[in-house]
C-alpha cells in the first residue's frame, strides 16, 4: 500500500468511492492522450484519484475536502502538476488568510448581481485591464469582480451619490483593505453631507470582523476628527470593547493613543491600565500604555513626578512574578534619560537582590545588575556577597570581577543567548567592578 500523504505513518488507503465525503462526486475518466509521461499500467488508486481530481477540477470545487484531496493527488504523482495539461492557476491548492472576507457570514442575504439591478442599469462596468501576461492573477469570485468593475466605473466618473455610497459599502464588505474605496467613500460622505453618527455605527459593526485592518481604523480617525471632542468618550469606550476581545490589538492601541492626544479623556486612563494589568499582567501593550499615560497625560505630573510611585507599583509586580519581562523593561524605562539616577538609586539593585533570593537564576535581575555595574554603579556589600554566592553555586572557577561573574552566570542561566553574554564579558567598560 502506498502512503497517500507525506506524513510518516503509512495508512491503508480507503478507495475514494467508499468515502462518504466524496459520495457527491462523479469521477471523470480521462483520456490522457499521447503526452502522458508514464506509460505503465496504472494502479487502481492512481487512476481513481486522478478521475476524482478531474471531477472536482471541472466543477471548480474549492472546498477543504478538495484541498486535502489534492495532497493525495500530489502524493501519487507530484509531477502531474508540472507536466500535465492542467492549468496550474486552476489548481485547488488554497491557503487560508488570517482574516476571511465578511461575505462568509452565515446570515448573508443572497446577493443580486449588479447587472440585474434596475437602479444600476445605466452604468457600464469597467473591467480591469491586466495586460496580456499578468502575474499573480487572483481567482476572483464573480461577485467580487463585478462589484469592483462597477466601483471602478463610479470612481472614474466621480459619481457622489447615494447609490455610490451603497456600492462602497458592498465593496468594503468584500475588500476592506482597498484604500481607494475608503477614500472615495469619504468623498461621497462629504458631498452628501451624510449623517456621520450613522456612519460611525456602520464602522463600529464592521470593525470587529476586521480589527487588524489599517483602513478601518484610519476611517474611524477621520470620523472622530469630524465629530470633534464629543467623540472622545465614545471612541475610548469602543476601543475598550475591542480590547475585551483582543487586549493587544496594535491598531486599537494606536487609535486610543491618538484619541487621548487629540480629543482628550485622560481622566481614567491610568486606572484603565491598572485594570488591564490586573486581567493580564503580561500584557505588554498595557505596560506601554501606562508609560504613555505617565509621560504624556496633562493631568499627571510627568515622569519625574510619577517615578517613585511607579517604581513602587512595578517592584510589587516584579516580586509577584519575576519571569515577566514587561515590568522589568518598564522599570528601566522609568529612568529614561536619567542614567545617573538609575545607577545611584538603591531601590533598583535592592529589588534585583530580593528577586535573586527567590530565584537565583532570574535573567532579568542578573542583566539589570550587569547593566548597572557596567554604567558605574558602586556595589553594596550585600551585592558583592550575592554575586559571590552565585559564583559558587554555578561552579565558576578563577577570579573575575563582579560584572564578569554576572556574565558567566548569565551564560549558564540564559543559554539561548550564551554567545551574547560571553561577548559582553569581553567587552566590559574599563574600570568596571
Partner 1 sequence: MDPPPPLRFDWERHLLFLEMIVDGLPLEYETQEINRLTLAYFAISGLNLLNALDRVQSNQISNWVLSFQVHPIRETDLESGEFYGFCGSRSSQFSSSFSEVSNKNCSHLASTYCALAILKMVGYNLSNINPEAILKSMRKLQQHDGSFVPIHFRAETDLRFVYCAAAICSMLDNWTGMDKEKAKEYIVRCQSYDGGFGLVPDSESHGGATFCAVAALQLMGFIGEDISPNQEVIDMPLLVEWLLQRQSGDGGFQGRMNKPSDTCYAFWVGGVLKMLGLFEFINKDALRNFILSCQSKYGGFTKFPGMKFPDLYHSYYSFSALSLLGEPGFRSLYVELGICSDCNG
* Cβ atoms of residues 166 and 183 within 8 Å: no
Binding track, positions 72-91, relative to partner 1; x by CB under 8 A: ------x--xx-----xx-x
Q: Considering only residues 314 through 353, tell me which ones interact with partner 1, judged by CB under 8 A.
A: 324-326, 329-330, 332-333, 336
Q: Are 404 and 425 in contact (CB under 8 A)?
A: yes
Interaction residues for partner 1, span 95-154 (CB under 8 A): 95-101, 128-131, 133-141, 144, 148, 151-152
Compute the distance between CA of residue 226 and CA of residue 200 in angstroms, rounded to an integer. Answer: 11
Report if residue 291 touches partner 1, rule: CB under 8 A: yes
CB of 145 to partner 1, least distance (A): 9
Chain centroid offset of residue 166 CA: 30
Cβ(114)–Cβ(147) below 8 Å: yes
| Footprint (CB under 8 A) of partner 1, residues 145-164 | 148, 151-152, 155-156, 158
Q: Which residue has the cell 542583566?
A: 367
* Beta carbon of residue 164, minimum distance to partner 1 (angstroms, whole number): 14
Vertex 309, ends 305 and 312: CA angle to 5°? 145
Binding window for partner 1 (CB under 8 A); candidates: 108-116, 160-168, 178-186, 387-395: 178-186
178 contacts partner 1 (rule: CB under 8 A): yes
> What stretch of H or E contains 14?
none
CA–CA gap between residue 194 and residue 387 (Å, rounded): 69
Min dist. Cβ of residue 385 to partner 1 (A)? 26
Whether 212 sits among the annotated catalytic residues: the reply is yes
292 sits near partner 1 (criterion: CB under 8 A) = yes
Site string for partner 1, 54-73 (x = CB under 8 A): --------x----x---x--
Residue where the block lists cell 551564560: 411
Q: Identify which of residues 27 and 364 has a Cβ nearer to partner 1 in the complex.
A: 364
**Marked catalytic residue, from 212, 316, 336, 347:** 212
Whether 374 and 432 have beta carbons less than 8 Å apart is answered as yes
Residues 380-419 touching partner 1, rule: CB under 8 A, are 415-417, 419
Residue 36 and residue 28: Cα distance in Å, rounded? 17
Site for partner 1 in 184-243 (CB under 8 A): 186-187, 214, 217-218, 222
Number of CB atoms found within 10 A of residue 114's CB = 20
Q: Which residues are catalytic?
A: 212
Amino acid at each position: 500500500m502506498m502512503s497517500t500523504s507525506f506524513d510518516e505513518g503509512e495508512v491503508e488507503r480507503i478507495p475514494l468511492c467508499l468515502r462518504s465525503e466524496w459520495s457527491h462526486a462523479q469521477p471523470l475518466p480521462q483520456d490522457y492522450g499521447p503526452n502522458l509521461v508514464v506509460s505503465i499500467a496504472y494502479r487502481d488508486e492512481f487512476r481513481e484519484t486522478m478521475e476524482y481530481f478531474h471531477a472536482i477540477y471541472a466543477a471548480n470545487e474549492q472546498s477543504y475536502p478538495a484541498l486535502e484531496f489534492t495532497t493525495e493527488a500530489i502524493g501519487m504523482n507530484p509531477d502531474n502538476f508540472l507536466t500535465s495539461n492542467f492549468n496550474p492557476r486552476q489548481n485547488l491548492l488554497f491557503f487560508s488568510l488570517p482574516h476571511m472576507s465578511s461575505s462568509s457570514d452565515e446570515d448573508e442575504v443572497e446577493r443580486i448581481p449588479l447587472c440585474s439591478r434596475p437602479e444600476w442599469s445605466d452604468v457600464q462596468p469597467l473591467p480591469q485591464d491586466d495586460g496580456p501576461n499578468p502575474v499573480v492573477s487572483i481567482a476572483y469570485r464573480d461577485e467580487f469582480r463585478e462589484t469592483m468593475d462597477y466601483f471602478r466605473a463610479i470612481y472614474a466618473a466621480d459619481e457622489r451619490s447615494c447609490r455610490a455610497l451603497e456600492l462602497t459599502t458592498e465593496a468594503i464588505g468584500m475588500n476592506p483593505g482597498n484604500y481607494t474605496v475608503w477614500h472615495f467613500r469619504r468623498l461621497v460622505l462629504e458631498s452628501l453631507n451624510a449623517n456621520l453618527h450613522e456612519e460611525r455605527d456602520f464602522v463600529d459593526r464592521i470593525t470587529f470582523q476586521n480589527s487588524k485592518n489599517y483602513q478601518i481604523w484610519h476611517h474611524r480617525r477621520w470620523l472622530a476628527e469630524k465629530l470633534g471632542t464629543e467623540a472622545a468618550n465614545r471612541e475610548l469606550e469602543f476601543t475598550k470593547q475591542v480590547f475585551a476581545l483582543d487586549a493587544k490589538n496594535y491598531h486599537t492601541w494606536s487609535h486610543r493613543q491618538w484619541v487621548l492626544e487629540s480629543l482628550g479623556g485622560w481622566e481614567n486612563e491610568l486606572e484603565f491600565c491598572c485594570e488591564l494589568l490586573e486581567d493580564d499582567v503580561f500584557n505588554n501593550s498595557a505596560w506601554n500604555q501606562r508609560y504613555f499615560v505617565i509621560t504624556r497625560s496633562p493631568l499627571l505630573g510627568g515622569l519625574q513626578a510619577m517615578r517613585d510611585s511607579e517604581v513602587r507599583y512595578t517592584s510589587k509586580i516584579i516580586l509577584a512574578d519575576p519571569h515577566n519581562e514587561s515590568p522589568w523593561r518598564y522599570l528601566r524605562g522609568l529612568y529614561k534619560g536619567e542614567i545617573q539616577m538609575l545607577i545611584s538609586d538603591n531601590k533598583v539593585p535592592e529589588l534585583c537582590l530580593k528577586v535573586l533570593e527567590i530565584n537565583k537564576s532570574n535573567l532579568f535581575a542578573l542583566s539589570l545588575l550587569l547593566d548597572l555595574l557596567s554604567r558605574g554603579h558602586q556595589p553594596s556589600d550585600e551585592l558583592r556577597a550575592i554575586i559571590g554566592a552565585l559564583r559558587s553555586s554555578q561552579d565558576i572557577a578563577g577570579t573575575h570581577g563582579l560584572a564578569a561573574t554576572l556574565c558567566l552566570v548569565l551564560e549558564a542561566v540564559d543559554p539561548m543567548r550564551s554567545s551574547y553574554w560571553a561577548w559582553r564579558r569581553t567587552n566590559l567598560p574599563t574600570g568596571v567592578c
